[in-house]
Amino acid sequence: MLRVLRHLSWLAAAALACVPATSGAQTAQTTAAATSPAISAADLRVRLYLIADDSLKGRLAGSAGDSVATAYIAAEFARVGLEPAGESGWFQTVHFKERGREPVTPARNVIGVLRGSDPVLRNEYVVMSAHNDHVGVARQAVDHDALRVTNFAAAMRKRGATAAAAQAWATHALDSIRSLRAPRQDSIFNGADDDGSGTVALLEIAEAMSANPIKPKRSILFISHTAEEEGLYGSEWFTDHPTVPRDSLVAELDMDMVGRGSAADVEHGGPAYLELIGTRRLSTELGDVAEKVDATEAIPFKFNYAFDAPGDREQYYCRADHYSYARFGVPSINFSRGDHPDYHEVTDEPQYIDYDALARVAVYVRDLAVALANLDHRVAIDHAKQNDPHAGCVQ
């Protein structure tokens, strides 16, 4: 038994790492610090502690908390030098009347553009996106640390640990935490990884690209979608009611849950782990460019394409905002560093994010966007799109 526990020590360390010393719900660092033009782990951390603050109450689409988040995103788009590209200024209101309700606080996409340098190609767009919403507040508070230990123990069982070994580890882990502090009640789904991580990466990329005096030939359309958690509704709304001509969209790169990916979080995970979904569904060339750009990075990623397989039971191809574009024939990729035991739990908090790896994802996705924007041709489409963009998605 002891040997089994030692063998699984990486998981124990992950569950115990970076746990705040304070009791009560997670408290964010709410003092904004100036960010630098370069994409950095420090800047991402500053931004994420704002986006995932308890005061935003889980950023449910159409809530006051998500309105605060979208106001921050719009202010940052303006500060770094983008141009507004929404219906009116930075925003596009997403209406829920078709779903039988309309939130008191408008749900809104935030849209900004970095104009391309080529007088002709600047009328085409590479889209970069993430979603700003999450799932709000739990009906009942839970013990944060006990829940986290329980979920990591369940992950151990899925990876082959016996029930006895997982239970022994969980008991030891929780006893160790209790020696440091009392139970802390938590009811807010902070959504630090889902999709605070993609949101702050989008902001860092916008700042870095805007500060660079050499602009891409094509324009870059930055979109922070709302209502992804409502079934991709914000991205669906934008692609059904685009604020630029739909046929001007040459490719779409979506980041969702790009802040974790360690071996503790994902089977076969590690610093080089990155999942790509949809890469060659419409365009072989898009996948080729993605791999070519990755090979030039200081530390290349090792792509996991397994979840893109037709019929995969996780259905990830149909569960991310990139699909809203792909259904109209726009070559699209979703980037993720994978699921983890804190997914859609109140324990998805910013202290558990790998900011160095998150910075590497942001740098890579930026470099890919620039490469696509600088091609002397639109990325080639060599696979048929679905006939009806409003038909059901097929993994």
Residues 6+ apart with CB under 8 A from 331: 250, 251, 252, 281, 282, 283, 286, 379, 381
Provide the residue type at 154 as one letter: A
Buried b (16+ CB within 10 A) or exposed e, 342-354: beebbbbbbebbb
CA neighbor of 393 nearest in space, from 229, 219, 218, 231:
231
Which pLDDT does position 101 carry in this prediction?
78
DSSP letter at 318 equals G
CA–CA–CA angle 190, 191, 192 (5° rounding): 95
The architecture CATH gives domain 41-136+189-373 = 3-Layer(aba) Sandwich (3.40)
pLDDT at 33: 57
Looking at residue 52, what DSSP letter applies?
Answer: T
CB 106 within 8 A of CB 67: yes
| CA-only gyration radius of the chain, Å | 21
Evaluated on CA atoms 77, 81, 83, 88, the torsion sign reads positive
Digits of tens for pLDDT over the chain (395 positions)? 333 333 334 344 444 443 433 333 333 343 445 799 999 999 999 999 999 999 999 999 999 999 999 999 999 999 999 999 999 899 999 999 877 778 889 999 999 999 999 999 999 999 999 999 999 999 999 999 999 999 999 999 999 999 999 999 999 999 999 999 999 999 999 999 999 999 999 999 999 999 999 999 999 999 999 999 999 999 999 999 999 999 999 999 999 999 999 999 999 999 999 999 999 999 999 999 999 999 999 999 999 999 999 999 999 999 999 999 999 999 999 999 999 999 999 999 999 999 999 999 999 999 999 999 999 999 999 999 999 999 999 99
The domains of the chain are located at: 1-30+139-188, 41-136+189-373
The reported pLDDT for the residue numbered 34 is 77
Name the DSSP class of 106: P
Q: How many CB atoms lie within 10 A of CB 81?
A: 14
The Cα–Cα gap between 322 and 349 comes to 24
What is the number of residues in the chain?
Answer: 395
DSSP string, 94-133: E--GGGT---SSPEEEEEEEE--SSTTGGGSEEEEEEE--
For the chain, the average pLDDT equals: 92
Residue 52 Rama label (left phi>0; alpha psi -120 to 50; beta): alpha
Residue 98 is predicted with a pLDDT of: 75
Residue-wise pLDDT tens digits, 332-373: 999 999 999 999 999 999 999 999 999 999 999 999 999 999
Q: Which tokens in the block code for residue 365?
A: 């996705």
**Using omega within 30 degrees of 0 as the cis cutoff, is the peptide bond preceding 254 cis?**
no
Q: What is the pLDDT of residue 97?
A: 80
pLDDT at 30: 38
Burial of 377 (0-12, 13-18, 19+ CB in 10 A): exposed
Distance CA 255, CA 137 (A): 23
With contact defined as beta carbons under 8 Å apart, do 189 and 61 qualify? no
Q: What is the pLDDT of residues 153-188, one digit of tens each?
A: 999 999 999 999 999 999 999 999 999 999 999 999
Determine which helix (DSSP H) or strand (DSSP E) holds 198, and give its type and residue range: helix 198-211
Do the beta carbons of residue 275 and residue 269 sit within 8 Å? no
